[in-house]
A and B are shown apart, each in its own frame.
Chain A
Amino acid sequence: MLGGVLLVLVIVATLLAPLLTPYNPLALSPTDRMLPPGPHHLLGTDEFGRDVLTRILFGARTSLRTGLVAVSLAIVIGVPMGLASGFYGGLIDRLLMRLVDLMLTFPGILLALVIVAILGPSLFNAMLAVGISASPTYARVVRSSVLSTKPHFFVEAAQAIGCRNWRIMLRHILPNVVAPIVVLGTLGVAGAIIAAAALSFLGLGAQPPEPEWGALLSEGRNFLLDAWWIATFPGLAIMVTVLAINLLGDGLRDVLDPQLRT
């Protein structure tokens, strides 16, 4: 509940960003360099005189979009793999699961780094990288849900009346594996936001002057002693948003899929 409310607040603030702040996130203002938080600039200004709050609000658009796109991509790749693997079994299952195993050999953010190394640093490539590297988890979870759904009578009944395989998968099995996908997807957005921000922080995602939370933090790290606010507030923004999504995900899991509860 708290997570949902917090997340709605973040999304509303993001959508209304141009109305909430009179400043432009990209316009330079040399006379306002590194001003501490105050009445005119609530969260201070950065080394180019840009308002930190404005850049965080506009950065939220980039970061939330990145998280959503990356998770959608992971679902688009992972769910069909898991469906086919669990439904057909045999050689298809073995091949797909070996591919998943291979992808999981590269721990954490390493697979995303490999993909960025191949495609080159950019926000778009970071999104692709995070999405692709998250897909094996979806494939595994969907496969195990399919395996537990397949023995049910309604699947056998659908086969008996001559339904095609793709129809059985999409109409009869998929609706039964939606719950874990929703839970995993929600929590996945939180992970994807952090992963994409990490890539941007390393200089491998969003490039300056684009306002993106990880990139904002990276810009602020060189001024930690003189202007702590430049790096501190974007980090808090990431934490609050990710916390809200995690709370929402935990709540959804308890309602939709108590078995996944940790």
Chain B
Amino acid sequence: MIQYILGRFVLIVPTIVAVSIVVFLMLYLTPGDPAIIYLGDTPATPARVAQIRHAMGLDRPLSTQYLSYVARLVRGDLGRSLRNDDTVLGEIQYRFPSSAQLAGAAFVVTVTLGIGLGLISALSRGTWLDASAMILALLGVSMPIFWLGLMLIFVFSLQLGWFPATGFGGWERLVLPAVTLGLLTSATLARLARSSVLEILWQPYIRTARAKGLAKGHVVRRHVLRNALILLITVAGLQLGDLLSGAVITETVFARPGLGKLLVDAILNKDFPVVQGVVLLIAVAYTLINLGVDVSYAYFDPRIRFE
């Protein structure tokens, strides 16, 4: 198992290197002189621009610039924000807890609701329960997350006054954003959970389990869920990626000071070092999540690690 994990870990190194190249090149792909972008709206003489170019190392070959970028990354130096001169790493560290809390809580909503709805729907196939669960899921897939967030604020904050609409800190500020983000991703998971459970219900081993007189609950827990788990772990893992990017929108709707809001504000302010730092972090986190999904596969399904 350890060998398997190490093997998978080695495979993600090229991906992370490629991601770092893309993030590094972002600034150079932007139309215009990177030095002028770095200067922002402040007017500057050509001499000042040249000075910035030199200070940023823009007058050196691109490969040298990339290597020094990587060297800085390894030291944990992601540069400084153009807006307030804070270190990007510091900004990220400050915002990270809010985003992690949101993603974690939303993931719990996604898994509970998604697998629960899918399972109920599949086990009561063809009934009104199945139909209503799937209509709910279809509505969930079709609903824009930012609208759902606004509607929840309207009903539960402005009308009923149950939860605060914005900000970070305390569980009461987490409920609405987590439900918004989680509801959306659980809809996809519910649809997939239903179809994979239905497929398993047709398998001969389920018929055998029933034929030998096992209780329905036992069949579901031991035979249906265990076999559906592989697919559901994959999808839930991939949903975590959606949660990471969905957090960008949710945080803006609920004005939560997280990484997503930091990213959107940085794009609007052309604060490139911050954009690069946050994008790099999310992409690397997503790659590691995928690695985690692969490893958990192998854990739950021994066939995979022996292949």
Contacts and interface: CB of A to CB of B under 8 A. Distances in A.
A204 B252 CA distance: 12
A224 to B, nearest CB: 5
Contacts of A201: 144, 146, 249, 252
A121 B267 CA distance: 8
Interface stretch (A34-42, A150-158, A231-239): A231-239
B26 A114 contact: yes
A33 interface: no
Interface in B243-271: 244-246, 248-249, 252-253, 263-264, 267-268
B29 interface: yes
Interface in A203-236: 203-204, 214, 217-218, 220-221, 224-225, 228, 231-232, 234-235
B30 interface: yes
Interface stretch (B59-67, B147-155, B207-215, B294-302): B147-155
Contacts of B141: 246
Given A102-B19, A202-B264, A243 B30 contact: no
Interface string B1-29: 00000000000000100110010001001
Contact of A105 (B15, B26, B146, B252): B15
Contacts of A197: 144, 146
A214 B268 contact: no
Interface stretch (B43-51, B221-229, B279-287): B279-287
Interface residues of B, number: 45
Contacts of B246: 108-109
The SS class assigned to the A binding surface is helix
Contacts of B15: 101-102, 105
Nearest to B29: A118
Interface in A166-211: 190, 194, 197-198, 201-204
B26 A204 contact: no
A114 B279 contact: yes
B252 A110 contact: no
Interface in B74-128: none
A110 B282 contact: yes
B248 A113 contact: yes
Contacts of B244: 107-108, 110
Given A102-B15, A117-B26, A243 B142 contact: yes
A261 interface: yes
B22 A204 contact: no
Contacts of B19: 102, 105
Given A117-B26, A225-B158, A246-B138, A238 B144 contact: yes
Given A107-B242, A113-B263, A238-B144, 5 more contacts: A108-B244, A110-B244, A110-B283, A243-B142, A247-B138
5 contacts: A108-B246, A109-B246, A116-B267, A202-B249, A224-B150
